Structure 1
Amino acid sequence: MVHAQQAVKTNKELFNILVSDQMDQDGLKPVMDSSLMNVIFESVTTTTTPLEEVDALLIRSATTVTREVIEKMPRLKIIGRAGVGVDNVDMEAATSNGVVVINAPDGNTISTAEHTFAMLASLARNIPLANQSMKEGRWDRKKFQGTELYGKTLGILGFGRIGAELAARARAFRMNILAFDPFLTQSRAEKHHVQPVDLDELLSQSDFISIHTPLTKETKGLLNKETLQQTKPGVYLLNCARGGIIDEEALYDAVKSGHVKGAAVDVYESEPAQNHPLTELDAVITTPHIAASTTEAQKNVAAQVAVEVMDYLNGKPAPHALNLPYLDADVFEKFAPITQLTRTLGEMTSQLFREPVKKVQLSYAGEISHQETGLFNRSFLAGFLRHRIDGYVNEVNASWIAKERDIEVIEKHESESRGYSNFIKATILGEKNTLEIYGTFSREIGPRIVQINEFSLDFQPAKHTLFIQHNDQPGVIGKVGLLLGTHDINIATMQVGRKHEGGKAIMLLSTDKECEEKVIEEFQKITDIVSVTNIEL
């Protein structure tokens, strides 16, 4: 569905803001002091205020905002979630009723970074065990000999806001810092005084490894039995990001064996995590998902959403909006095919281009070049970032997320459309490579990919797609079909592009189901196949 942000006009009447969950009063003070805002502290389920008179709703995690609740609030314009996750909000119902939903993605950055560093120092110096020993009346000085952080190497896996803050603290302790992140450019690495490396180097060279990557299909179980064996003997691991990135059973075994000397865990695959096996191990520090639980963080998230809600009610845009009201039916009908194409182009390039991105350039030709293309840029970015961001990303917040990661976005309008009524070219520039993908669309067929780099073809994107780079030799296509058939994977469509006979070539195939990793690995054994990328749309 296509969306567009709509500001709320100011009126002279008081806006009623219902605060349904407990929030920091200091954080809410700017709204409470406003002469235009009437702040009501009552649960949405028991409030004595008529729900039909509520203009804004502020919540944390305790209140669940269902479609039924939203539809009882005809004046509701915005929901502010004082935190990051919005699992307790029916986003579809909010969007369909024209209600903007915002969150506070920045409010707990410092608290999480500080908690992580506290865990790191505690691991290095055995502080929890030493403290417990003292409480039990013992004096075990020799037993709790630790290690200095000075001169040690910290590997930061995922270099967003929290990773950067952790790096700043580690530098103060004169640690050497490695960072692995698909978005990390050389210029940003230099700005934060870290060394960008690939995953293998980070694992093998780090004395401490701290996880700050999103939980995605690619990162789930990223540290598992095999990858943990790539780490230094005696490594320390920390996870204050997301449960599921470390295989907890593999971590348990690695600590028991002594390969992992210690671990600090604040998040778990399944929460609450009472009586978790990791709590049995003296070498593991466990906390109950409290990295963001500080007085300051609670004040920050309350203030951030409250002020943004107030600004939105006064007619200003909502920078942290997670959705947008529906467009009128006729406008949606006009732009839906274009946004479908740009989002598809974004999703494909994100999965094809797995290196730091410095610049995204979108060129429009044909009829589309005469339209306002800002929405199409945001749609492309939403598709591009969806596979790399652990959170709700769409046309609203995509530009903000790209800017935060130092991705420059350039838009061009050109006259040459190669005979297509509408023609879009997306160019992704990294530090070493460039990817170009060209697309068009028709109402009858939908989005079509007509060129990737120098290879021309005509491919209709599908949910399950394989991109194969290969040498143009007899029998390669047959071997691909045979391998897929062996694994009971049916080919729906196939397109091949090549520059000249016997040279480099590409294949795009759509299949009836996703290829598992073991199938992708078998492709690498086929002579003349250079690489295989699994694309999920």
Structure 2
Amino acid sequence: MEKIYITQDIAKEAKELLEKEYTVVIGKNLAEDELCEIIGEYDGIITRSQTRITKKVIEAADNLKVIGRAGVGIDGIDLEAATRRGITVVNTPESNTIAACEHAIALMLSVTRCIPQAHQSIQEGRWDRKSFTGIQLLDKTVGIIGVGRVGSNVAKRLQAFNMRTIGYDPYITEERAKELGVELVDLDTLLGESDYITLHTPLTEETRGMIGAAEIAKMKDGVRLINAARGAIVDVKALAEALASGKVAAAGIDVWASEPLLPENNPFITMTNVALTPHIGASTKEAQAGVATDVALGVRQVLHGEPVATAVNASPITKAMLRVIQPYFDVCERIGHIAIDLAGGRISGIAVEYTGELAETETAPLTTAILKGLLSPVLQQPVNFVNARGIAKERHIDIRETKTARGRYYTNTVTLTIETNAGSHQVTATLFDRKEAKIVALDHFRVDLEPKGCFIVAPHEDKPGMIGQVATVLGGAHININSMQVGASNAKGVNVMAVGVDKDIPTAIIPALLNIEGIQDVKIIHCEH
């Protein structure tokens, strides 16, 4: 039974979901060397931000297939090393969206109305109304850096306060920003026009330290800054100096470059114009349950060999895209298997044509599924949705995609053409009612095959007795025939016989079939994956 290590306890529902299929070990956060000692026996690991999955840990992980991050950030995981090893990294980008959004707004309101300081004064027995005069959000401009899942939800809620929402995000379109009611601007404009600035970007090389002394100098006097994203985005020493001088009126901070935050690393420890929290943006009962369940589902999907929408080192899949392409993953992998059995030579390239509803959506994940099916039977290393394209690139396999409105025989089809040094072959598949998969063409032959099990493909002369002779050879070898059909081709006088059998065909049978007069070729096709 496959094993999963969890670095700290998770929600009961998630644990029960995994324990139905796997051996689950609830452990603790381990240092790098300690983790290296145990990771070799595990197929999956689920962690939070406290445990770092480094290159050294990944290289010690002989059986590891998936790393699950119970949260949004992946900055503690060596993504490049995981990808090279074909290890899928999944996170939970949506489960704590609302919790993080609401906490950012809570910090904003706290530094607007001096709530933590007023509370403390009451606790100390004082009644000091004059010291805690705040401002209103009404008609203020808020600059949102990162208008993604959290940032867009923050914008929506602050618009209800009648705030002007401007945003800096080089990765969303003007159309999307207009839908959100956010005016896209460059970073300098945002810094100069905002009464409030709230950060909602991941930590990348591009965003690390993006708010430092130079950026603070461009801000309005008396600006208020909120960071509930990642600690290392802000230079806290520069921020502390700006808070002390009054350049920045107040700041609300939930995240830190080094956690837990120790007193000697806290430059705000004596300041009264800050609201500080210990990385609790996602700490709601609802978010914690959602994060745990979602990461457990993602880990299970990877261990089942299925595509995962939240895999951060595979082709990205949105929910809307997944609704369209989900039914096609299995048949795409199967036609990859079929094509490699047809190939008969060294692969130089593949061309995939998508028609119908698939022509209107992103199909890169389906092409990855085809590559997975194509390469898995011929390589010793595991091939999955993370490394399939990288392996194809290493082998100089050219990959091309085309899309057309309608297929030749059916509306919604996937056609794979595989090019080798021995020639090319083509497989076309479709789905009936988005459920029933069929192979409808093999090379230039029309067929109607269910892509399951093992079958023989034998082009032959169109003359009497061919089916009987093939059946006689198979029967003599004690091979049971499950199905048989004959497909016509564009070439006059040539048909193709597709014979489904109940077990794999011994290679010794192939010469006997080829000896039948009129049989032009014999291919053994394996559809399972």
What TM-score, normalized to structure 1?
0.53
2:10 to 15, 23, 26: 23
1:124 aligns to 2:126 (yes or no):
no
Secondary structure, counterpart of 2:231 in structure 1: coil
Q: Distance in 2 between matches of 1:153 and 1:92?
A: 39
Rounded to whole Å, the distance in 2 between the matches of 1:221 and 1:244 is: 6
Larger Rg: 2
| Residue 294 of structure 2 is aligned to residue 304 of structure 1 | yes
In the aligned structure 2, how far is the partner of 1:21 from the partner of 1:255? 37
Q: Distance in 2 between matches of 1:370 and 1:218?
A: 35
Could you say which residue in structure 1 is the equivalent of 2:159?
A: 171
- Alignment partners' CA distance in 1, 2:152 and 2:179: 10
Q: Secondary structure at the match of 1:277?
A: coil
Residue in 2 aligned with 1:113? 101
Tell me, in whole angstroms, the C-alpha distance in 1 between the residues paired with 2:268 and 2:88: 41
Pick the aligned partner of 2:243 from 255, 266, 283: 255
Unaligned runs of 5+ in 2: 315-347, 354-362, 369-383, 390-399, 404-529
Conserved? CA contact 1:235–1:260, under 8 Å? yes
Q: What residue in structure 1 maps to residue 221 of structure 2?
A: 233
Change (3 A) 1:73 1:283: closer
Partner amino acid for 1:23? I
The separation in 2 between residues aligned to 1:184 and 1:92, in whole angstroms, is 25
Q: Please say if 1:182 is aligned against 2:165.
A: no
Give me the identity figure in percent: 42
Q: 56-65 vs 158-167, which deviates more?
A: 56-65
**Relative contact order (C-alpha < 8 Å, sep 6+): which is higher?**
1
1:274 and 2:249 matched: no
- Closer/same/farther in 2, CA of residues 206 and 377 from structure 1, 3 Å limit: farther
Q: 1:396 to 1:187 in 2, by over 3 A?
A: farther
Whole-angstrom distance in 2 between the partners of 1:44 and 1:229 = 40
For 1:114, what is the secondary structure of its paired residue? helix
How many residues were matched structurally? 329
Against the structure 1 CA distance between its residues 145 and 316, is the aligned structure 2 distance closer, same or farther, given a 3 Å change threshold? same
SS of the counterpart of 1:237?
Answer: strand
- Rounded Cα–Cα distance in structure 2 between residues aligned with 1:99 and 1:225: 39
Classify 1:91/1:126 alpha carbon distance in 2 versus 1 (closer, same or farther; 3 Å): closer
Tell me which amino acid in the other structure corresponds to 1:227.
E
Question: Where in structure 2 are the equivalents of 1:43-82 lying within 5 Å?
Answer: 55-61=43-49, 76-82=64-70
Match of 2:275 in 1: 285
CA–CA distance in 2 between the matches of 1:97 and 1:247?
34
- Shift of the alpha carbon at 1:158? 1.6
In the alignment, the residues of structure 1 paired with residue 145 and residue 164 of structure 2 have an alpha-carbon distance, to the nearest angstrom, of 14
Distance in 2, matches of 1:268 and 1:73, equals 29
Change (3 A) 1:135 1:269: same
Q: What is aligned with 1:528?
A: none
Partner SS state of residue 15, structure 2: helix
What CA distance in whole angstroms lies between the structure 2 residues aligned with 1:92 and 1:177? Answer: 36
Name 2:143's counterpart in structure 1: 155
Cα displacement (A) at 1:65: 5.6
Closer, same or farther: CA 222–101 of 1 in aligned 2, 3 Å: closer
Residue of structure 2 in register with 1:335 after alignment: none
CA contact (8 A) 2:103 2:281 kept: yes
**Root-mean-square deviation over aligned CA pairs:** 3.9
Q: CA deviation at 1:289?
A: 2.2
Amino acid at match of 1:111: A
Q: Of 189, 196, 202, which aligns to 1:208?
A: 196
Alpha-carbon distance between aligned partners in 2 of 1:298 and 1:29, rounded to the nearest angstrom: 15
2:234 is the counterpart of 1:246? yes
- Superposed CA deviations along residues 337-372 of structure 1, whole A, max 9, x for unmatched, are xxxxxxxxxxxxxxxxxxxxxxxxxxxxxx868589
Structure 1 counterpart of 2:242, one-letter code: A
- State the AA in 2 paired with 1:30: L
In 2, Cα distance between equivalents of 1:105 and 1:51? 25
Instruction: Please tell me whether the aligned partners of residues 21 and 63 of structure 1 are also in contact (alpha carbons under 8 angstroms).
Output: no
Task: Please say if residues 184 and 196 of structure 1, whose CA atoms lie closer than 8 Å, have aligned partners that are also in contact.
Answer: no
CA contact 2:254–2:276 (8 Å) conserved in 1: yes
- Any idea what SS the aligned residue of 2:283 has? coil
Structure 2 SS opposite 1:244:
helix
CA distance in 2, matches of 1:51, 1:261: 47
- The residue aligned with 1:102 is 90
3-state SS, counterpart of residue 269 of structure 2: helix
Task: Return the alpha-carbon distance in structure 2 between the equivalents of residues 52 and 184 of structure 1.
Answer: 40
1:196 Cα shift?
Answer: 1.2
Cα contact 2:117–2:272 (8 A) shared by 1: yes
Q: Structure 2 counterpart of 1:291, which letter?
A: G
